[in-house]
Amino acid sequence: MASLVHDTFYGQVVRYFTKGRLYGHIEDKPDFELPWKRLPTETASESEAEKVLEADSDNTAASTPPATALPEEKAEDDASGVGKDLELQTPVGRQPSRVLQPQKTPDGVILVDWYTTDDPANPQNWSSKKKFIATFIISWYTFGVYSSSAIITPAHQDIEEKFNVSYAEASLGLAMYVIGYGIGPLLWSPLQELPVLGRNTVYVITYALFVILSVPTALVDNFAGLVVLRFITGFLGSPCLATGAASMSDFYAMSHVPFAIIAWTASAFAGPALGPLISGFAVPAEGWRWSLWPILWLNGPILLAMIFFLPESYSPTVLYRRAQRLRKRTGNTNLASQSEIDQKNLTPGKIVRDALIKPFEITFKDPAVFFINLYTAYVYGIYYSFFEAFPLAYINVYHFNIGETSLTFVALAVGCIIAVIVFTCFLKFYALPLAAKQGPGKLEDNLIPALLMSMLLPAGMFWWGWTSGNPDIHWIVGLIGVVMFTFGAFILMQCIFVYLPMTYPMYAASLFAANDFFRSAMAGGSIIFAHPLYQNLGIGRGISVMAGLGVGGVIGVWALWWFGERLRARSKFAVKGAPVAPVE
């Protein structure tokens, strides 16, 4: 248990107030000795010890130094590699423990790195149990934030009556929440990549404020306050959307990252679908506030689990804190981590530029990235438009009550579950074995499953649109089209989320931040325009307009697959000679 909570937010607080007596680090032990000091002199030559490393300001993690073999030592957790660099070169699994020799920069700074190849402080070396718990908490956290968006949908009519507003105005409770978590990553993503903060500090502080503000949101007595609080809570809940996938890659080997991201993406897809189900039967019985109280009940326990059981996973932050402890223990001010050196070179202007300007500069100057952001925004907008369209179809046509209508959203989750099973099998039994056998293919090979899925999206939309508005057709027939849409959307997004960061790896954070902003902005807008669109044109014609745009997206996906490599070669953001990724 001590190893599980050692580097959690709770463990850090306890360690601080007990001055290291509880949950202390190895450097806090009285008999601690620098591991490389114990290396045999015949294997640790002076030339090795004094080897000079050219510091790379673009790399936040220290390079892997030379290692000297020692008898295997029992580590706190089972090993899965040395880190992100070594894991690409060595098979995953337990390796003989080897002490790592530190390196020096030209100005004499000793770079603090992992002590051994199986250093338990390295997130890549966490036990399977610890990785599973971290994955579960991050996915649960993502589900809680996403489900808190559409959970207000069953209360639209009550909010109209309570505050005497129009239906479009009542929809702002959902729209502003979605826009809030679209803007949030522009701030939280760069903050989480500062070694002094890391993932957990931002996760815990923002999520705690999210949970606290869910109380006044449920108690507010004026419409403006409700809309503002919904925007703020969406903004505060967005860190998991900004770096949830990055957190997974912190502690999983590259061969396992796609499977972890599937679990995380599934929680994001299923969250909004199940949100109305959580409140759908409570609102008619208890009133509109009961669409908001479940946010506290759902997210409060997740916050506690995060505080007590989610360890810091960002390696630059772990090494940054280790360097601080070593300087305090040894008195040697020349000890520093690579991330610490890089952080000193950051200026407020550069942080603002990377956070607010670079994402949009890449988007508008690169046609491939612009299309990806536009198309994923379209898919996301259609997904959220269902929350306005379903009540029109199932309440007005099939005469469902609010609780029964909320059950229809389960079709979105069913499509997601089927897609998870199919795509996991695709990766496990075809894509990854093929990549291991033949080596990395073209980056655009990642888009091959998306070619078919892009055609499935408009097909599912046409199916739902022209079967759900006819009372002579059973209501479940239309929901089959919704399952088709969600199935295709999930797999398409998986393919794009693998492809997008690998187009320009050094700008991955900016690419995701811009993509999230575009998706959320479109989703927020679709919540406002979907209801009048479907009401004025009818379900069939309204969805046909949106599906017609999706046909254009099919052409775009095929064009990206065919011309993507040439477009990247011409881009000013391309890194010449950069490796391509295997199909994942």
Do 101 and 48 meet the contact criterion of CB atoms below 8 Å apart?
yes
∠ Cα 201 203 204 (to 5°): 70
Token pair listed for 70: 């020692």
Which residues lie below 8 Å from residue 499, measured CB to CB, with a gap of 6+? 372, 443, 444, 446, 447
Going by C-alpha positions, the residue among 90, 100, 89 that lies closest to residue 38 is 100
Q: Identify whether residues 43 and 109 lie together within a single domain.
A: yes
Token pair listed for 497: 């989320």
Length of the chain, please?
A: 584
The domain boundary residue, chosen from 313, 333, 358 = 313
pLDDT tens track for 114-167: 998 888 899 999 999 999 999 999 999 999 999 999 999 999 999 999 999 998
Q: Classify 93 in phi/psi space as left (phi over 0), alpha (psi -120 to 50) or beta.
A: left
Segment 550-562 shows an average pLDDT of 92
Q: Identify whether residues 7 and 82 lie together within a single domain.
A: no
What was the pLDDT predicted at 190?
84
Do 192 and 202 meet the contact criterion of CB atoms below 8 Å apart?
yes
Helices (H), 151-256: 156-163, 167-170, 172-183, 185-192, 198-219, 223-236, 239-251
Q: How far apart are CA 409 and CA 394, in angstroms?
A: 11
pLDDT tens track for 223-250: 999 999 999 999 999 998 878 888 888 8
Radius of gyration of the chain (CA): 25
Token pair listed for 278: 């959580």
Q: Identify whether residues 249 and 212 lie together within a single domain.
A: yes
User: If residue 523 lies in a helix (H) or strand (E), which one and from where to where?
Assistant: helix 508-537
The SS3 of residue 116 is: strand
Per DSSP, 149 falls in state H
Residue 417: is its pLDDT beyond 70? Answer: yes
Residue 575: is its pLDDT beyond 60? Answer: no
Q: Identify whether residues 323 and 458 lie together within a single domain.
A: no
Do 469 and 538 meet the contact criterion of CB atoms below 8 Å apart?
yes
Going by C-alpha positions, the residue among 389, 221, 396 that lies closest to residue 292 is 221
**Number of compact structural domains in the chain:** 4
Residue 87: is its pLDDT beyond 70? Answer: no
Question: In the structure, what pLDDT confidence band is assigned to residue 352 with cuts at 50, 70 and 90?
Answer: confident
Pairing assessment for the beta strands 110-111 and 335-336 based on DSSP bridges: parallel
What was the pLDDT predicted at 72?
36
Residue 440: is its pLDDT beyond 80? Answer: no
The domain boundary residue, chosen from 346, 364, 396 = 346
Q: Identify whether residues 333 and 373 lie together within a single domain.
A: no
Do 456 and 487 meet the contact criterion of CB atoms below 8 Å apart?
yes
Going by C-alpha positions, the residue among 186, 194, 516 that lies closest to residue 356 is 186
Give rounded-to-5 percent helix, strand, coil for the chain.
70, 5, 25
Mean pLDDT, the chain, integer: 84
Question: In the structure, what pLDDT confidence band is assigned to residue 574 with cuts at 50, 70 and 90?
Answer: low
DSSP character string of 224-252: HHHHHHHHHHHHHTTHHHHHHHHHHHHHS
Token pair listed for 131: 């990785």
Q: Identify whether residues 484 and 375 lie together within a single domain.
A: yes
Q: Considering only 248-262, 277-291, 503-517, 520-534, which range has the smallest mean pLDDT?
A: 503-517
pTM: 0.85
Q: How far apart are CA 246 and CA 269, in angstroms?
A: 18
Residue type at position 425: C
- What CATH number is given to the structural domain containing 491? 1.20.1250.20
Segment 58-67 shows an average pLDDT of 40
Q: Identify whether residues 479 and 548 lie together within a single domain.
A: yes
**68 — phi, psi (to 5°)?**
-120, 130
Q: How far apart are CA 505 and CA 548, in angstroms?
A: 33
Do 196 and 246 meet the contact criterion of CB atoms below 8 Å apart?
no
Residue 76: is its pLDDT beyond 70? Answer: no
Q: Is 541 exposed, middle or buried (0-12, 13-18, 19+ CB in 10 A)?
A: middle
Segment 37-49 shows an average pLDDT of 50
Q: Considering only 57-71, 149-163, 442-456, 528-542, which range has the smallest mean pLDDT?
A: 57-71
Pairing assessment for the beta strands 110-111 and 103-104 based on DSSP bridges: antiparallel
Question: In the structure, what pLDDT confidence band is assigned to residue 89 with cuts at 50, 70 and 90?
Answer: very low
Q: Identify whether residues 170 and 306 lie together within a single domain.
A: yes
Kindly provide the b/e burial profile for residues 62-90, where b requires at least 16 CB atoms within 10 angstroms of the residue's own CB.
Answer: bebbebbebeeeebbbebbbbbbebbeee
Q: Identify whether residues 146 and 294 lie together within a single domain.
A: yes
Q: Identify whether residues 379 and 256 lie together within a single domain.
A: no
- Residue 354 neighbours by CB distance under 10 Å: 18
Going by C-alpha positions, the residue among 97, 109, 115 that lies closest to residue 34 is 115
The domain boundary residue, chosen from 323, 346, 369 = 346
SS3 for 498-509, per residue?
A: HHHHHHCHHHHH
Domain containing residue 102: 33-125+315-346
Better-predicted residue by pLDDT, 82 or 493? 493
Strand order in the sheet with 110-111: 103-104, 110-111, 335-336
Do 338 and 358 meet the contact criterion of CB atoms below 8 Å apart?
no
Q: How far apart are CA 402 and CA 413, in angstroms?
A: 18
Going by C-alpha positions, the residue among 537, 512, 532 that lies closest to residue 188 is 512
Q: Identify whether residues 357 and 459 lie together within a single domain.
A: yes
Token pair listed for 112: 């603090």
- Residue 166 neighbours by CB distance under 10 Å: 9
Q: Identify whether residues 325 and 389 lie together within a single domain.
A: no
